[in-house]
Amino acid sequence: MKVIEKIIELGDGRSITIETGKLAKQADGSVVVKMGKTMLLATVVSAKDAKPDVDFMPLSVDYKEKFSALGRFPGGFMKREGRPSDYEILVSRLVDRALRPLFPEDYHAETFVSINLISADTETMPDALAGLAASAALAVSDIPFMEPISEVRVARVDGEFKINPTRTELEAADLDMIVAATMENIMMVEGEMDEVSEAEMLEAIKIAHEAIKVQCQAQIELTEMVGKTEKREYCHEDNDEELRQLIIDKTYDKVLEVARRKNANKHQRAEDFAAVKEEFVTEYSEGKEESEINMTLIGRYYHDVEKEAVRNMVLEDRLRLDGRKTDEIRPIWSEVDYLPGAHGSAVFTRGETQSLTSVTLGTKLDEKIVDDVLYQGKEKFVLHYNFPPFSTGDARASRGISRREVGHGNLAFRALKGMIPADSPYAIRVVSDILESNGSSSMATVCAGTLALMDAGIQIKKPVTGIAMGLISTAGAEKYAVLSDILGDEDHLGDMDFKVTGTRDGITATQMDIKVDGLPYEVLAQALEQARQGRLHILDKIGETIEEPREDLKPHAPRIVSMDIPKDMIGAVIGPGGKIIQEIQEVTGAVIVIEEVDGKGVVDISADNKESIDAAVARVKGIVAVPEVGEIYKGKVKSIVTFGAFIEILPGKDGLLHISEIEHRRLQTVDEVLKEGEEVEVKLIDIDAKSGKLKLSRKVLLPKPERKKKEENK
């Protein structure tokens, strides 16, 4: 066994070690990446041949966290890891998006990348190491891969940028991004920010890239150390250059004519492009046997013609498929309060992209419980994004939530979550259903989410909108066009998909995928500025629908009152076995949730009407209230004895009303005046210093008899 190691110094006393040759040696490539106690095992296996008629890269990336990595048992009856969590899916997508563009265009063998968290500590965040581990596994294999990449987290903590900060440090960060890059080029960016400027975001990307270059160089050296500089030979495409040129000659001008029609309807446009292809196939097929016609090659070459024609039109004519200018936003209309049964709702439509979004308000009992390997807790704000097939006119069934839906929903979630007030007592669920899609549905979700939250009466700090930017460029970006509010076709045919969300004052979230080499930072800067202008335009548009959050919740929304109580009174409110709190809920109809926060008890009382809440608040206040001498209380007669009556002046607090303190006259028996269960006003006149017993008086609240008053005046 020959174990090879490569150590990467981070420059602050921490280091990352890449080890190969010890584990999983039957995979095409495997490495263990270690930082502190965190260890990732990454393996890659690629089939020797491609399946017939496959003309794309069938890459699968799976990130999996083992509960044993942190010495924990999985939850559930089976006590074993189940389906991937949202977090695992998101990390898988981060790695996939960075790796996929770097396989050769003609490499079509099924390739599987598996990244497993096998050891962990609570401070070292493994998501920032997953891309490095996957790329290093490819680097020590013979699988064709153009050049190594790496991913790092860059965060700004107390004004200073830090690479791969600890989990504790990240809690104080106002910028948190994962950046993926090669030695020369940025490939992918994703993260969230606290309204930072475009210049600050670019600075963070540059700092991250410098750290990535060191990690890429380490992988290049590792490849040489294991002797894998020569990659496997393959042939996954059979090309026909004569057919390729024939398709170019026969269809290019016709495709360009269709592209220049400025048709804003994507289905009609698709039919027009398809008609050009069908015309060629009909003409080409005349006099040929079916076996002589390679529809796979025709489809691939025609797609290339379509892509080239559209790109050239944008670069040369500065025209887009739907006739817009490069910085022009599609027509926008929006509406709030569309769903009368929801607590808040909105429809946001931009061009052929539409989101119907609802807001549901709940109590702490409705908060999402998270039980991942490295994080356990609750989330009071969640956002779910649904992308049904009918939104693109596809005739197919919907089979569960896709990774894409998880990723798009997470981007919108990160865009909005910083605007939710920290003191909001509500659990909030935002659901975006995409009803039409032609580009940028995640950004439509952000806009619709803002509208629906304001419609619900949630006092968000500021409205947030989002926009998707695209890019068409020549090699080295000698000639380029930055496109605002891209169409689905422009995303597919373009060189960049750059989504930016934010308020009027700065960026709150971003997601970027770059598909070309050598993109200068100046182009990114222009894209960011163009995105800022588009974001402001959209903010103006949604402001025409609703300018600010409604002052109050909808009448049918749950009402929540939050109150603080002393920590040592939590048990008194709950009661033995929950008896008291259950009795309050049963009598008042309210829902009560108590938890300890920062050394005090926080009581959330919710109901769908004010009377229930007021009654429950009064009961809780009564339990935690401290009796004060001189105060007047309305109490209930709990029991009668020969020498007086015991009165409950506060829940669980009884005092003695002596027979001599009931009235000014002398009573023979207590029940001459009082009955059990009767309510009576009394005054607390004394608290015994030793026993704490309460002494009450009723007569001090009654007027003195006239006879006594006259005798006193003599």
Residue 472 pLDDT exceeds 60: yes
Compare 709 and 357 and report the one with higher pLDDT.
Answer: 357
Residue closest to 514 by CA, chosen among 100, 63, 57, 93: 100
Q: Which residues contact 609 (CB under 8 A, 6 or more apart)?
A: 559, 589
pLDDT at residue 187 in the model: 93
Q: Does domain 332-544 have CATH number 3.30.230.70?
A: yes
Judged against a pLDDT cut of 60, whether residue 581 lies above it is answered with yes
Across 634-650, average pLDDT: 90
Query: How far is it, in rounded angstroms, from Cα 548 to Cα 451?
Result: 9
pLDDT of 375 above 70: yes
Q: How far apart are CA 133 and CA 115, in angstroms?
A: 7
Helices (H) and strands (E) in the chain, counts: 15, 29
- Region 461-488: mean pLDDT is 92
- The answer to whether domain 4-226 and domain 332-544 are alike in fold is yes
**Is 671 annotated among the ligand-binding residues?**
no
Tens-place pLDDT, residues 495-518: 999 999 999 999 999 999 998 887
Angle at 98 between CA 499 and CA 479, to 5 degrees: 60
How large a percentage of the chain has pLDDT more than 70? Answer: 99
| Average pLDDT, integer, range 404-411 | 96
Q: Which is more confidently placed, 621 or 170? A: 170
Q: Residue type for 171, please?
A: E
Integer Cα distance of 531 and 471 in angstroms: 12
- Does pLDDT of 708 surpass 60? no
Among 361-365, 396-400, 534-538, 705-709, the least confident range: 705-709
398: left (phi over 0), alpha (psi -120 to 50) or beta: beta
User: What is the model's pLDDT at position 492?
Assistant: 85
Please tell me the predicted confidence (pLDDT) of residue 626: 78
Q: What would the pLDDT profile of 297-313 be if each residue is shown by its tens digit?
A: 999 999 999 999 999 99
Question: Residue 191 is encoded by which pair of tokens?
Answer: 């993260």
Report the percentage of the chain scoring pLDDT > 90: 76
* pLDDT tens-digit series, residues 26-37: 999 999 999 999
The topology (CATH level 3) of 631-701 is OB fold (Dihydrolipoamide Acetyltransferase, E2P) (2.40.50)
Residue tagged 């939850």 (tokens): 75
Query: Which of 16, 80, 471 is closest to 215 using CA atoms?
Result: 16
Helix, strand, coil percentages, rounded to 5, for the chain: 35, 30, 35
Task: Provide mean pLDDT across the span 273-285.
Answer: 93
Best CATH choice for the domain 4-226 from the list 3.40.50.300, 3.30.750.24, 3.30.230.70, 2.60.120.10 = 3.30.230.70
In this predicted structure, the answer to whether residue 709 has a pLDDT above a threshold of 70 is no
Domain ranges in the chain are 4-226, 241-317, 332-544, 559-624, 631-701
Residues 336 and 590: their CA atoms lie apart, in Å, by 29
Sign of CA dihedral 589, 591, 596, 598: negative
Cα–Cα distance, 228 to 281 (Å, whole number): 44
Q: Is the pTM of this model over 0.85?
A: yes
CATH code of domain 559-624: 3.30.1370.10
pLDDT for the residue 605:
93
What would the mean pLDDT of 201-214 be, rounded to a whole number?
A: 96
What pLDDT, on the 0 to 100 scale, is given for residue 678?
A: 92
pLDDT band, very low/low/confident/very high, at 52 (cuts 50, 70, 90): confident
Mean pLDDT of 48-58: 90
In this model, does residue 714 exceed pLDDT 60? no
Nearest in space to 585 (alpha carbons), one of 608, 606, 562 = 606
Residue 614 assigned as binding residue:
no
Instruction: Return the pLDDT at 416.
Output: 98
Residue range 64-116, pLDDT digits in tens: 999 999 999 998 888 999 899 999 999 999 999 999 999 999 999 999 999 99
- Rounded to the nearest integer, the mean pLDDT of the chain is 93
Q: Would you call 637 helix, strand, or coil by DSSP?
A: strand
Which is it for the CA torsion 677, 682, 686, 689, positive or negative? positive
User: Is domain 241-317 given the CATH code 3.20.20 in the classification?
Assistant: no
Reduced to 3 states (helix: H, G, I; strand: E, B; else coil), residue 669 is: coil
> Could you count the other beta carbons within 10 Å of the beta carbon of residue 3?
10
Q: What is the pLDDT of residue 231?
A: 95
Alpha helices in 418-475 (DSSP H): 441-456
